[in-house]
Amino acid sequence: MIQIKDVTKLYPAKESGNGTGKDASSIHALDHISLHVAQGEWLSIMGPSGSGKSTLVNLIGCLDRPSSGEIWLDGQNVAGISSADLNRVRAEKIGFIFQQFHLIPFLTAVENVMLAQYFHSMTDEKEAVEALARVGLGDRAHHLPSQMSGGEQQRVCIARALINDPRIILADEPTGNLDAQNEEIVLRLLREFHQQGRTIVMVTHDPVVARLADRRIELHHGKVASQEIFSLADEGTLGASRARRDRGSRAHGSARRVARQPGD
């Protein structure tokens, strides 16, 4: 489904301009990374700030192109295709859920969802309202983002991500700005998407949230430093994990295998 082969992403280092003579070498956001995500798999990505998590998700989501390497989505290498083709692949295959929501502030909830329809094919207001109803926002369709809570805005994002029926859901810290109750709603929706057979790649800083996935990888300095494969999450995992964490103890017990990968 998603095959990443030897991908490197370089960003130009900021020019110091302060006379310190610091070198202007590039930032290796991703450093020869290879990764396979199976169809229907739920992968979580953890790692310190700046380790390349968002860069990786943005490359998979066709928001950007790698400096080198290949990114295969559904049998197509998107690493070298034109911007127009990237936009088309993104509209057809990808649903994005961001921590910062990225809703258009002057469009209502339903208009934000319809904009995603527009970029895919054509708008259908009835369908857009139904998508909002599915995330519990049927009565908020004509509110502006500023008139909604963070949790509601995130659910608009999810309706927008889902409206074109994408096979791949990319979620970059989807619950990072939410309270516990909205976090649970969003995680339940993600679990539903997983059960529908969609492939999910989710960045999170929360080890309990990461554990809902089938597998967790950890990035360090743009490389996969370790991975952990989880056994099938049972229905109670979310609540049970949360309760464990609330008691201040670490979630343990469902790890089937822990595999350390060589440094590069």
Ligand X SMILES: Nc1ncnc2c1ncn2[C@@H]1O[C@H](COP(=O)(O)OP(=O)(O)OP(=O)(O)O)[C@@H](O)[C@H]1O
- The residue ranges that bind ligand X (CB under 6 A) are 11, 27, 29, 47, 49-55
- Determine, following the binding rule CB under 5 A, whether residue 44 of this chain makes contact with Mg ion: no
Task: Between 30 and 137, name the residue whose CB sits nearer to ligand X.
Answer: 30
H or E segment to which residue 44 belongs: strand 42-46
Task: Between 116 and 217, name the residue whose CB sits nearer to ligand X.
Answer: 217
Task: Between 55 and 154, name the residue whose CB sits nearer to ligand X.
Answer: 55
Rg (alpha carbons) of the chain, rounded to whole number: 19
Q: Give the shortest CB-117-to-ligand X separation in angstroms.
A: 29
Q: List Cβ neighbours of 170 (8 Å cut-off, separation of 6 or more).
A: 57, 60, 61, 94, 95, 96, 97, 200, 201, 202
- Determine, following the binding rule CB under 5 A, whether residue 54 of this chain makes contact with Mg ion: yes
The one of Mg ion, ligand X, none whose footprint includes residue 151, by CB under 5 to 8 A per kind, is none
Task: Between 183 and 206, name the residue whose CB sits nearer to ligand X.
Answer: 206
Q: Give the shortest CB-187-to-Mg ion separation in angstroms.
A: 19
Task: Between 11 and 119, name the residue whose CB sits nearer to ligand X.
Answer: 11
Task: Between 13 and 243, name the residue whose CB sits nearer to ligand X.
Answer: 13
123: exposed, middle or buried (C-beta count within 10 Å: 0-12, 13-18, 19+)?
middle
| CA triple 221-224-226, angle to 5 deg | 115
The one of ligand X, Mg ion, none whose footprint includes residue 50, by CB under 5 to 8 A per kind, is ligand X
Sign of CA dihedral 45, 63, 116, 85: negative
5: exposed, middle or buried (C-beta count within 10 Å: 0-12, 13-18, 19+)?
middle
b vs e for 196-211, b when ≥16 Cβ sit within 10 Å of the residue's Cβ?
eebbbbbbbebebbbb
- How many residues in total does the chain contain? 264
Q: Give the shortest CB-80-to-ligand X separation in angstroms.
A: 20
Q: Give the shortest CB-11-to-ligand X separation in angstroms.
A: 3
CA atoms within 13 A on the CB side of 257: 6
Q: Give the shortest CB-58-to-ligand X separation in angstroms.
A: 8
Q: Give the shortest CB-106-to-Mg ion separation in angstroms.
A: 26
For every residue of 126-142, DSSP letters joined together read HHHHHHHHHTT-GGGTT
Site map for Mg ion, 98-137, x if CB under 5 A? ----------------------------------------
The one of Mg ion, ligand X, none whose footprint includes residue 29, by CB under 5 to 8 A per kind, is ligand X
Task: Between 28 and 245, name the residue whose CB sits nearer to ligand X.
Answer: 28
Q: Give the shortest CB-121-to-ligand X separation in angstroms.
A: 30
Distance from chain centroid for Cα 174: 7
- Determine, following the binding rule CB under 5 A, whether residue 55 of this chain makes contact with Mg ion: no
Q: How far apart are CA 145 and CA 103, in angstroms?
A: 7
The one of ligand X, Mg ion, none whose footprint includes residue 154, by CB under 5 to 8 A per kind, is none
What residues line the site for Mg ion (CB under 5 A)? Answer: 54
